[in-house]
Structure 1
Amino acid sequence: MLGIDTGSVATSLRRVVATAQNGLEVIRLGGLETDAVPSPFSVVARDRMYRLRRYFPESEQTGPPVVLVPPMMMSADVYDVTRDQGGVGILHEAGMDPWVVDFGSPATEEGGWNRTLADHIVAISEIIDIVAERTGRDVHLGGYSQGGMFCYQAAAYRSSRDIASIITFGSPVDTLAALPLGIPANVATKGAEFLAEHVFTRLAVTDWMARTGFQLLDPAKTVKSRIDFLLQLHDRDALLPRESQRRFLAMDGWVAWSGPAVAELLTQFVVHNRMMTGGFSIRGKVVSLAELTMPILAFVGEVDDIGQPLAVRGIRKAAPRAKVYEAGLRAGHFGLVVGSTAATQTWPSTAGWIRWREGLGPRPVEVHAMGYDEHPASESGVSVGNRLVHTAATIAEVGLGLGRGIASAAAGAVKGSREISSEAARTLPRLARLGQLQPHSQVSLGRLLGEQARRASAGECFVFDDRVYSYAAVDQRIDNVVRGLIVNGVRPAMHVGVLMETRPSALAAVAALSRIGAVAVMLQPTSDLSASLRLGRVELLIVDPDNLAGSVDHGLDVLVLGGGESRSLDIEDSDLVVDLEQVDPSTVELPGWYVPNPGRARELAFVLFSGNDDTLDAKFITNYRWALSAFGTASSAGLSRGDTVYCLAPLHHSAGLLVAVGGALAGGSRIALSRGVEPERFADEIQRYGVTVVSYTWTMMRDILTSESLPHRGQHAIRLLIGSGMPTNLWRHTLERLAPARVLEFYASTEGDVVLANVAGTKIGAKGRPLPGSARVELAAYDAVSGRYLVDEQGFVRHCETGEPGLLLGRPGLDDSSGAFMRGVFSAGDVWTPTNLLFRRDEGGDYWLLGHKRSVITTARGPVYPQPIADAIGEAEPVDLAVAYGIGEHGDQWSVCAVTVRAGQNLTASMVSDALLVLDPAERPDVVHVVANIPLSRAFRPLDDTLRAAGLPRPGVKTWYLASTSGEYKRMTKAVAAERFTAHQ
């Protein structure tokens, strides 16, 4: 008979009994009873959004105040899971004054399911005021995970006021840099956009959903912890130290999210990633992390796959004016704030940081300045080695094998390889829509804006003076203006002048006219308003208060719109003036003829003006021509809902109305309206608004780039500048100063369908190639001296060879407003529209502007083109602006180039010679001279009228003449001037 080890049997029986007893306790109570008690606190402030806890109220509170913010999905008890190892207890023992924000649960709070993200941020701002007032000290603001994101956002919302420092724990900033589970950024944004628009508008996230989602982000660790708990269920003493933490994660620590808050989080900080770009809105106010100025400490988990290191380190780039530090821990997401690592490292380091910032001790050795390196989209910041070791070891502990762990880790390490062509998905529908347009197709600015409002009524339409306006609000404002216009006699096809500064009311006026089907005549603030009114056939005026005084002298009824609540209208002849803001739209009955957005492609939509005074010229823009620019810009620039387009050009300019506003509406992008070109304002607004695309005209960026306040590389979100006429030297300077932004240069005939775009941007100075969907173009051989086309043996106009100057022609399409047709040009019966501009086409098919046919300099040796001269001389480093023009009689002119020089630099004859060597000898200017100033048009185009009127430049040390065909320029003396240029003196 075998012997039985009675001791072993007894031990087994005791284990079974203990397991059963402990298991029943877990089933009955949800966990094991512990003797742990929470740290004492009192609620010092209550609001519908929060309860503010102050911990250890019985003790004398003299230390620095620390306000801790939980994420939306977690209980405020995350900072006090166990008293001896919890954050509030450790901070209190270190001499700090801990406060905790308790948002409660939306499920139990009044109106909780309607909470927005902004409600949480504003609540934190109010709490900072309370704590700062009660303690008389600036507050150290700390947050875990999304709570840290709240801290950044609230600090920016209050412009860093009363905040001593920010401490975050695993809080992502660059949410698209490193996503959990290796999800590609483009997939995440599409998914987040869908969830925000179609799911969380109807559904909230319950506490069990939040708990399950968190556990699924690290399923191996979740399985391991549960198996460990079951295997040790017999050993109560082993389980009790971690029981509070286990129950917190498994049951007690989770709260629900309201649907609107989740939707706003996904839209602003995943789809648009506005923690990085700036421009997120809090109750209509535009905010950017670039406004943060206090020191920041970010705790980074080396194996944190939720707040991944690259995402957390995004704060270094997003807050360029703040001193940002980091402390790295070998911990996962939850381990940053709860558990043994947090107790021994996180919270003592936090206390050491606060003592250092308060001047009470040295900087903790584990705290160091944060670096930020640009990185491929496939990286996350969690090293492959760390992920392999962490994931494989965890999975191996629960018996799933090392091989599967390595496979899982490898899958995470190569995330981003599954890229889809989202660019094509955005571009093709826009081009297809252009191709489908027929003369009778309904398309207009008003219609496109209405479509965007129906698609995303809560989406952000535009930003102005730090305020954000939703599509719904803008659409309602437009409808109200429509009623005011109709009651004052505006009807379809009526020409209505718009004389307004760039402001929301101007955009509303233009859109309202489009919605009625009237023609908006975009008037420039000019002394010769009567000429514009005559050329634009204006029947009625809409003005803002700033332009009211000079508008009542022309015998037209004047409608005043916008200007703010504090405006006053002081006009003697009040019979002609109607204040549209006093019209109650609810009292206006719409007439039977009114059909919103009736405009068709072939119909006139706008009248724009070019030139000045005597050269003023009206340009008639059809709805199709506007749509061509709008969809063409959106396609070429790759505009999306994640972009904010900064409309630096005024609305009365084609770059403002057709490119910036049109492109933004077609791309679903947000529009940022600017009051004008002021370098300080530009530097401030591009960061605060999160500007990604800037529209410009000609030399508009010139003064901006010299501003010391302009952010440097990595400190702005600008990816593209779009416009026309930028000089090549300014183009290069822009690329250097605003790197890594690119320049997208357009040429678009104001009338007709010709659009060229330098999409690649590799050939600086080129106008590019015809935009898909725009008119077919050809270069016609042209004698610029005689002003005649060059024909072949059959009498047809000859096509230009590669590199040969020619006049650009476009095939007329839907836009037939100009009526300037040519028939039988290249073949019998063909129809073309001339642009009046001369180009060359290079071997790659790109077009290079030579100048307007009227600006060609007709010398005795043949035509000289002004644009290549300006481009070439601009390559000399000291040159700022340049214009080329002719002096003398037609056919016998001298070609002259005038330049201005950058402050502190000197232009020499050798520099001029070297720069102009790129031109053929016959195309070089006869004279180059430095002038103090080159006038600019209202569109920032360099003008030569005054210089031409002054005649040949006087001899001097800064006037040079072409001495030989070798390209050598020498100083012009009085003797040389008398000998060579007497005929034109």
Structure 2
Amino acid sequence: MARPVERLLATAQNGLEVLRLGGLETGTVPSPYQIVESVPMYKLRRYFPPDSRPGKAPAGEPVLMVHPMMMSADMWDVTREDGAVGILHSAGLDPWVIDFGEPDKVEGGMRRTLADHLVGLNDAIDTVKKVTGRDVHVAGYSQGGMFCYQTVAYRRSKDVASIIAFGSPVDTLAALPMGIPPNLGAVAADFMADHVFNRLDIQGWMARTGFQMMDPLKTAKARLDFLRQLHDRQALLPREQQRRFLDSEGWIAWSGPAISELLKQFIAHNRMMTGGFAINGQLVTLTDITCPVLAFVGEVDDIGQPASVRGIRKAAPHADVYETMIRTGHFGLVVGSKASEITWPTVADWVLWLSGQSPMPSTVEPMNDQPEEEGESGVPLASRVVHGVGGASEVALTLARGAADAVGAAGKSIRTLAVETARTLPRLARLGQINDHTRISLGRIISEQARGAPDGEFLLFDGRVHTYEAVDRRINNVVRGLIDVGIRQGDHVGVLMETRPSALVAIAALSRLGAVAVLMPPDGDLAEAARLGGVSEILTDPTNLEAAGQLGLQVLVLGGGDSRRLQLPDGTDVVDMEQIDPEVVELPGWYRPNPGYARDRAFVAFSTVAGELVAKEITNFRWALSAFGTASTASIGRNDTVYCLTPLHHQSGLLVALGGAVVGGARIALSRGLRPDTFVQEVRQYGVTVVSYTWAMLADVIDDPGFALHGNHPVRVFIGSGMPTGLWQRVTEAFAPANVVEFYATTDGQAVLANVSGAKVGSKGRPLPGGGQIELGAYSAEEDLILEDERGFVQVAGTDEVGVLLARPRGPVDPSASVKRGVFAPADTWVSTESLFRRDADGDFWLVGTRSTAMHTARGVVFGEPITDAVSLIGAVDLAVTYRVPVGDHDVAITALTLRAGAAVTAADLTDALAELPVGLPPDIVHVVPELPLSATYRPVVNDLRAAGIPKAGRQTWCLDAASGQYKRLTPAVRAQFAGGQ
């Protein structure tokens, strides 16, 4: 009877000690350390500081350990003998710990941001390097490992010997805890960041409870085991320090701003994978990590799941990445028996290996690229149950796992469709509601985004980031400056600026004021542009000041930011907008922000037609149609970064890139111009997900000898118009799985088509929802007539028949447009685009050409676009263009092409490619040219080729043998027949 009584008494005695002290007294003492640096953000501890007396051995390789925000820095020394600092010290290393403290007990601590932690860690690395004189190994657990990745990328691996991360997620959306679907997780994280943690901090007890609820079975089992052994003090003491740490002592508060930034940047936007996350306004990408990386992977870790942790392999393609797999959960990676037996000895061996003092650890192996498995969602529930409880039948678990995967796979597409529908439908609904009297403009949409997400990142340029609120405030200040110099609503103001933030602000400010921004091409005829645009003032930057001064108009200079007095070469003063204090400008009674109606003229852009500058008026409706249409068809949202490669004075930059980004609430990255040597670097630095293009622009990147993609890239879609079919294929192959969304839009915006899926290379797709009604009128190319039926109405073109694209107008109609009435019904009104299309059996539209470019050869009608598309698909062809050369009373149809480096094309290649054109006839002559000159928008220019007439005979010039349908080498005799009109 004595034994039960003794057990009861021991249980009572130990239980009372736990109630009074929070746990059993173990008698252990912390490892000794010295505070090397103490600043408001952190304290830097050096454990087991070396003895500086002469003859003492120097300290070993420094290892700086980083704790996550919710855990105390004491986690590295939970038990002196089995803790991290003790084991590393015994192995001859120099352990350091950064202690961010308890933010709720520090003045201003609960206002700390994520960037504050990263900048603090960056400074701590500098200090360790300075004190020890050695490169630093940085090691972080969970979010602390994320800190390590981000900070080392921020400092471009300077003074860092390696990164060691324990259960640290990188590809956060690859596998969220508890099997949360990625789409749902991203949306929830974004919502929590914007609407919860901007008002709420997390206290220590909340962090502890949340961590324990991640694995409630294990938590319950641990507590039950503790109660069952409460009588046996000796059995409990070895794990008592760890139990107390997890149950109470180890948890600290999180500041709301830091949590909000974590959720937004690295869960909702997954920017450790895509790049483009901001540290103090500087944009950072993990591709800048070049030091070795060792990632510890918990086989049953449901917080830092294996698929997420292994994302570092793709995110840091320039680093040598290794891994150590341990069958344990999240906390077990760094504290506990597995950690003392495997983790910390492996860390010690890793550091010694890198310093050349020992062989590579047997527990470390290179991390390989992980194949993506359909339906994979991280650590299965079955594995967590087995690890926590055990004893279940393997057969039952296999069946359960299979059923769960099947349900997940079936629901994946439904979830994706639901998210995209929820994002797209409101935009299309708003677009459909726009009429002549709707107030809509670029300035208005930016205001809306700034009110809805003031801290949302908007403008990226030269590696820096600006928020919607900051840009909106700058726009309002420029509006006050414009009012101060006399600009009023409706005035036409020339904008002559390089693509930079000040240019975007200037255009948006004119929109907000209700003035018309005349977008003047810096490389065009400025005097003619000013005349056509009705310009009375020029808003320019210092770069274009001299050119603007030659126009004889009032010159306003924006940008530069210094206090110098600006003058033109002739001594004439100009207005320096930077010197106007917006605070002292009194707004007139007539001013109302964003007064523009949909019908109002908003911009004037320019293009060159037949060598002459032509002004294109763009209404607010036209801008909104392109902006909402782009955002909808490309599914642009807050997670996206749109890379604007075209200048803002070009319609593609203004309507597609800027418009789509603003309407989608996305970020827009402005480029100083297309440079193949910086393209990939900027894509990763900015985290670019959407790339805008025009025509053959991307050929400069794809075909550059130095172009190479290593590892992961963030691009998911290319948007633009006119991409050659061959280049289209090369782009999608290089950037797989990204696709191309090709647009076609008339200048007045009455007809808009979009190839959303990208499945049919070269197709212009289908009419944009909300963009108005489009039809294809039957057309006789031989007679250049739109065909009518017996009642006098226009016939509708059949499948794969050439027709004229007709659009039912919405909003103002361009005075120069070809307006037709009574087309398909009495008194109806349609606008003829004068463009020729065919519509395939699926309803997709394919550009054939225009009425003016149809070629009437001796054999019949030839359409240029189908020929160019077919020839461009030949693997050896770089670019191609088809044009006419008039000879006598008919045309000679000629296709010119350039070859890719080291490639050659044969007559058989041409015959096969042009054998089955969907409409029209093949060209008379095909020839290889050294180069095809491109316009400023990267469109092939044929003026010189046309002026040169019939190509000379040669080895790389072929003509069509009408009898056999095959291409043969062009001889001088046959050329003479073409030149003579025979």
TM-score band by shorter chain is: over 0.9
**1:978 positional shift:** 2.2
Q: What residue in structure 1 maps to residue 854 of structure 2?
A: 856
Indicate if the aligned counterparts of 2:566 and 2:575 stay in contact, CA closer than 8 A: no
Query: Displacement, 1:528?
Result: 1.3
Matched, 1:597 2:589: no
Does residue 1:578 correspond to 2:575, yes or no? Answer: yes
Q: Structure 1 residue 906: deviation in Å?
A: 1.6
In structure 1, what is the Cα distance between the partners aligned to 2:976 and 2:220?
96
- Could you tell me which residue of structure 2 aligns to residue 24 of structure 1? 16
Question: Which of 70, 78, 81 in structure 2 is aligned with 1:73?
Answer: 70
Give yes or no for contact 2:744–2:752 (8 Å, CA) kept in 1. Answer: yes
What is the aligned counterpart of 1:265 among 246, 262, 266? Answer: 262
1:49 corresponds to: 41
Deviations 1:534-582 (A, max 9, x none): 2222222111111111111222111111245599845234546211111
Q: What do the CA deviations read for 1:271-323 (whole angstroms, capped 9, x no partner)? A: 10101111000010000111111110000000111111001001111111111
Pairing of 1:306-325 with structure 2 (within 5 A)? 306-325=303-322
Q: Does 1:557 align with 2:549?
A: no
Deviations 1:899-952 (A, max 9, x none): 111121122222222221122796111111111111101000011111001111
Q: 2:942 matched to 1:944?
A: yes
Q: Does residue 35 in structure 1 map to residue 27 in structure 2?
A: yes
1:215-254 to 2 correspondences below 5 Å: 215-254=212-251
Pairwise CA RMSD: 2.2
Give how far 1:377 is off: 6.6
Secondary structure of the corresponding residue to residue 143 of structure 1: strand
Change (3 A) 1:892 1:110: same
Residue from 796, 806, 809 that aligns with 2:806: 809
Gaps of 5+ in 2: 52-56
Q: Distance in 2 between matches of 1:402 and 1:925?
A: 67
Q: Kindly tell me: are residues 301 and 953 of structure 1, through their superposed partners in 2, closer, same or farther at Cα, counting changes over 3 Å?
A: same
* Structure 2 residue corresponding to 1:693, chosen from 687, 690, 699: 690
Q: Is the 8 A contact 1:395 1:405 kept in 2?
A: no
Where do residues 500-579 of structure 1 align in structure 2 (5 Å cutoff)? Answer: 500-563=497-560, 565=562, 569=566, 571-575=568-572, 577-579=574-576
Once the two structures are superposed, what CA deviation does each residue of 1:118-148 show, in whole Å capped at 9, x if it has no partner? 0000000001110111111110010000000
**Structure 2 counterpart of 1:437, from 418, 434, 437:** 434
User: 3-state SS of the aligned residue for 1:923?
Assistant: coil
What is the rounded CA distance, in whole Å, between the counterparts of 2:611 and 2:733 in structure 1? 38
How many residue pairs match? The answer is 972
For residue 373 of structure 1, what is the aligned residue in structure 2? 370
Give me the identity figure in percent.
57
In structure 1, what is the equivalent of residue 351 of structure 2?
354
Distance 1:249 1:417 in 2: 38
CA distance in 1, matches of 2:401, 2:881: 63
| Cα distance in 2, alignment partners of residues 451 and 867 from structure 1 | 41
1:976 maps onto 2:974 in alignment: yes
Contact 1:751 1:818 (8 Å CA) reproduced: no
SS in 1 for 2:843: coil
Task: Name the CA distance, whole Å, in 2 between partners of 1:888 and 1:189.
Answer: 59
Change (3 A) 1:406 1:898: closer
Cα deviation for residue 376 of structure 1 reads 4.3
Matched residue, 1:886: 884
Distance 2:154 2:387 in 1: 38
**What is the CA-CA distance between 1:210 and the residue it aligns to?**
0.5
Find 2:488's aligned residue among 477, 488, 491.
Answer: 491
- Tell me which amino acid in the other structure corresponds to 1:40: P
Give the structure 2 partner of residue 847 of structure 1: 845
Does 2:276 correspond to 1:276? no
Summarize the Cα distance change of 1:593–1:36 in structure 2 as closer, same or farther, 3 Å threshold.
same
User: Which residue of 1 is the match for residue 796 of structure 2?
Assistant: 799
Partner of 2:916: 918
Alpha-carbon spacing, 1:56–1:410, altered in 2? closer, same or farther (3 Å): farther
Distance 2:560 2:938 in 1: 26
For 1:809, the aligned partner's letter is L
Q: Displacement, 1:607?
A: 1.2
Deviation per residue, 1:629-652 (Å, 9 max, x gap) = 111111101111101111111111
Task: Write the deviation string for residues 205-253 of structure 1: whole angstroms up to 9, x where unpaired.
Answer: 0000011010000111111111111111111111111110000001110
The Cα of 1:782 is off from its aligned counterpart by 3.0
Contact 1:132 1:162 in 2 (8 A): yes
1:548 aligns to what SS in structure 2?
A: helix
Measured against aligned partners, the alpha-carbon deviations of 1:507-542 in whole angstroms (never above 9, x if no partner) come to 000100010011111111234112211222222211
Deviation digits for residues 686-738 of structure 1 (CA, Å, limit 9, x no counterpart) = 01111011000000000101235545375201010000000101111111111
Q: SS of 2:926's equivalent?
A: strand
Q: Does the CA-based 8 Å contact 2:382-2:400 persist in structure 1? A: no
Matched with 1:755 is: 752
Note the 1:374-413 alignment, pairs <5 A: 374-376=371-373, 378-382=375-379, 386-393=383-390
1:117 counterpart = 2:114? yes
| 2:737 equivalent in structure 1 | 740
Partner Cα distance (1:12, 1:413) in 2: 53
| Pairwise CA distance, 1:53 | 0.2
Letter in 2 for 1:790: L
Cα 1:92–1:969 shift into 2, 3 Å: same
1:11 to 3, 10, 16: 3
Cα 1:22–1:416 change in 2 (3 A) is farther
Shift of 1:181: 1.2
Deviation string 1:637-678 (CA, Å, 9 cap, x unpaired) is 111110111111111122111111111111111111111111
SS, match of residue 611 in structure 1 = strand
Aligned mates of 1:79, 1:417 — CA distance in 2: 43
Aligned AA (1:361): S
**Alignment counterpart, residue 184 of structure 2, candidates 178, 182, 187:** 187
Secondary structure of the corresponding residue to residue 210 of structure 1 = helix
Provide the rounded CA distance (Å) in 1 between the counterparts of 2:858 and 2:399.
78
User: Relative to 1, partners in 2 of residues 1:953 and 1:794: Cα closer, same or farther, differing over 3 Å?
Assistant: same
Distance 1:406 1:100, change over 3 A: farther
**Distance of 1:432 and 1:922 partners within structure 2:** 40
Distance in 2 (CA, whole Å) between partners of 1:509 and 1:471 is 15
Q: Distance in 2 between matches of 1:130 and 1:864?
A: 73
Moved more, 387-396 or 179-188: 387-396
SS of residue paired to 1:203: coil
Task: Tell me the CA shift for residue 823 of structure 1.
Answer: 1.3
Alpha-carbon displacement from aligned partner over 1:866-908 (angstroms, at most 9, x marks no partner) = 1111111112221111111111158501111111111211222
Deviates more, 1:314-323 or 1:955-964: 955-964
1:604/1:817 contact within 8 Å kept: no
Q: 1:785 to 1:487 in 2, by over 3 A?
A: farther
Range moving further from structure 2, 703-712 or 445-454: 703-712
Under a length normalisation based on structure 2, what TM-score does the superposition of the two structures give? 0.96
- Distance in 1, matches of 2:919 and 2:386, equals 69
The corresponding residue for 1:482 is: 479
- 8 A contact 2:352–2:358 mirrored in 1: yes
Other-structure match for 1:3: none
Equivalent residues of 1:779, 1:799 under 8 A apart: yes
Name the SS of the counterpart of 1:298 in structure 2.
strand
Q: Which position in structure 2 is the counterpart of 1:658? A: 655
Find the partner of 1:98 among 90, 95, 107. 95
What code does the residue aligned with 1:29 have?
A: L
> 1:694 aligns to what SS in structure 2?
strand
Q: Comparing 214-223 with 387-396, which one deviates more in the overlay?
A: 387-396
Once residues 951 and 827 of structure 2 are traced to their aligned partners in structure 1, the CA distance between those partners, rounded to angstroms, is: 49
SS of aligned partner of 1:226: helix
Q: TM-score of the superposition, structure 1-length normalised?
A: 0.96
How many Å apart are 1:185 and its aligned residue?
Answer: 1.4
